[in-house]
Structure 1
Amino acid sequence: MSLQFAGKTALVTGGGSGIGRATALALAAEGALVTVSGRTEETLKETVRLVEDAGGSARHFVADVSDESMVEATVRAAVGDTGRLDFAVNNAGYDGEFQLTTDYSTEMLDRMIAVNVRGVFLSMKYELRQMVAQGHGSVVNMSSGAGLVGVSGFSGYTATKAAEIGMTKSSALEVAPYGIRVNALCPGLVDTPMIATMDPNEEPMKSIIAAHPLGRIADANEIADAVVWLCSDKAGFVTGVALPIDGGYSVP
């Protein structure tokens, strides 16, 4: 453990499970004080407990990223009395269900836009305000390999994840003069609680797994490791990138 982030603060939205929890643990293991946010207090408290059991420091804040006042309050809570926000990982997202475009639920699409597009936009709005004021920072948006390619049955999801990439690139250009970096990660299928409920021997899971040339799905820790790298000085010249972590899924 290098503790390369000692004395620094981080915010992870959607930090109660899956990639968000793994990311919180990874950032805390490097010395960061991590604030995890999300809608379910029970899972957030469990993430905090796991971080503390591992010797790290964390706190939680209950919020819905589609609510602007909650997002603003979340960023204030993450800054706390430190006066800084070094890293922000916008991981909160809504996946929805497999539905062909002709049958796609408008309500499901609206929820995806509220969380995946509005939520990331609002999060960056207040995170970047803080980072510009302090003159440094790194933002990582959790997009998806689905934002890089088409995925049958997930047109709404792919649309919102592509939108996250567009927001990442535009924001990266805006804040580059302040020394702030904004990047996106584009995971393929990841072993998370949501995936655990799906039968790998049935469609569409079977075909999605087969579409990963490495022949497996990712572990959440592999995605978290990429977040740590993007936040670190080792990625100091990387901004505006949509980085696939997908076992070859998005290779043409």
Structure 2
Amino acid sequence: MTRELAGTRAFITGGGTGIGRESALALAALGSHVTVAGRTMATLDETVDTITAAGGSAEAVQCDVSDEASARAAVEAAAGRDGRLDFAVNSAGVSGGDDLRPLGEYDTAQFDRMVAIDLRGTFLAMKYEIRAMEKNGHGSIVNIASGAGLVGVPGFAGYAAAKHGQVGLTKAAALDYGTKGIRVNAIAAGLVDTPLVATGRSPEVMAARIAAHPIGRIGRPEEIADAVVWLCSNRSSFVTGTAIPVDGGYVAR
């Protein structure tokens, strides 16, 4: 396997599980030194162990992306002593679960949680990732958004608002830093087979979720990670400010 990203440094929030973990594994396999961040050190350590066992280079840092001091410290740790950060993948987030309610009945605490982690957390991580990248005049940021950031989803007011916000942040930052060598994109992921998705859901609910994807199945984390690698690499050098659906046709319905 080519190590086309050798000598680079990557920072990944939500790197202990799911899309974040698979993105970390994929970038490390191409030679990037990966720093994974999240709230649970046990899962972060599992990611690091998997990478190092395969001959890659990685470290873990505990981080609550909704807290500015924590987000800043994590990014600075990832950039290391020389302050270099080439890639960032913002994958930390929470979903709305299956508690579907119209907006007038939507729980305010749930809405605040969606915004605090999915939107504010992405903003704070980007704020310090961009500062690190700006010092070196280059970088690529990939935000893991959702089809719910491109289309409306009934019953998911908080999640849809936060994910639409992520797409807005992506576009605004791409315009702010396009001439400074920093590209910013989002992946509008469909439903992906992670522990968060399957846990506690009945077969009937999962069948309905699968049926919403015209391809006839939900995605695999490594399929999203493949898109992450492309957006980080120079192979996508003319791509910025976009939210790319990787969703089995979900938003094409």
TM range (shorter): over 0.9
Match of 1:36 in 2: 36
Match of 1:139 in 2: 141
SS at match of 2:250: coil
What is the distance in 2 between the residues matched to 1:119 and 1:199?
Answer: 26
Match of 1:213 in 2: 214
Gaps of 5+ in 1: none
One-letter amino acid matched to 1:117:
L
Maintained 8 Å contact 2:76/2:83: no
Superimposed CA distance per residue, residues 64-102 of structure 1 (whole angstroms, 9 cap, x where no aligned partner): 000000111011100112430000001101113222123
Maintained 8 Å contact 2:111/2:157: no
Maintained 8 Å contact 2:37/2:60: yes
Computed over aligned residues only, the root mean square deviation of the Cα atoms, in angstroms, reads: 1.1
Task: Tell me by how many angstroms 1:122 deviates.
Answer: 0.7
Q: Larger deviation: 189-198 or 57-66?
A: 189-198
Match of 1:70 in 2: 70
Task: Tell me by how many angstroms 1:201 deviates.
Answer: 2.5
What is the distance in 2 between the residues matched to 1:187 and 1:164?
Answer: 12
Superimposed CA distance per residue, residues 102-139 of structure 1 (whole angstroms, 9 cap, x where no aligned partner): 33221111111111111111111111011111100000
Identity %: 57
Superimposed CA distance per residue, residues 213-245 of structure 1 (whole angstroms, 9 cap, x where no aligned partner): 000000000000100000001000000010000
Maintained 8 Å contact 2:34/2:59: yes
What is the distance in 1 between the residues matched to 2:81 and 2:48?
Answer: 19
Task: Tell me by how many angstroms 1:158 deviates.
Answer: 0.8
Q: Give the total of aligned pairs.
A: 251
What is the distance in 1 between the residues matched to 2:17 and 2:82?
Answer: 26
Gaps of 5+ in 2: none
The ranges of structure 1 where at least 4 consecutive aligned residues each deviate by more than 4 angstroms after the TM superposition are none
SS at match of 2:251: coil
Match of 1:119 in 2: 121
What is the distance in 2 between the residues matched to 1:45 and 1:236?
Answer: 32
Match of 1:161 in 2: 163
Equivalence map 1:181-220=2 (5 Å): 181-199=183-201, 201-203=203-205, 205-220=206-221
What is the distance in 2 between the residues matched to 1:79 and 1:130?
Answer: 7
One-letter amino acid matched to 1:191:
D
Match of 2:238 in 1: 237
Maintained 8 Å contact 2:63/2:71: yes
Match of 1:21 in 2: 21
SS at match of 1:113: helix
Task: Tell me by how many angstroms 1:200 deviates.
Answer: 5.7
Task: Tell me by how many angstroms 1:198 deviates.
Answer: 4.2
Task: Tell me by how many angstroms 1:206 deviates.
Answer: 2.4
What is the distance in 1 between the residues matched to 2:83 and 2:41?
Answer: 25
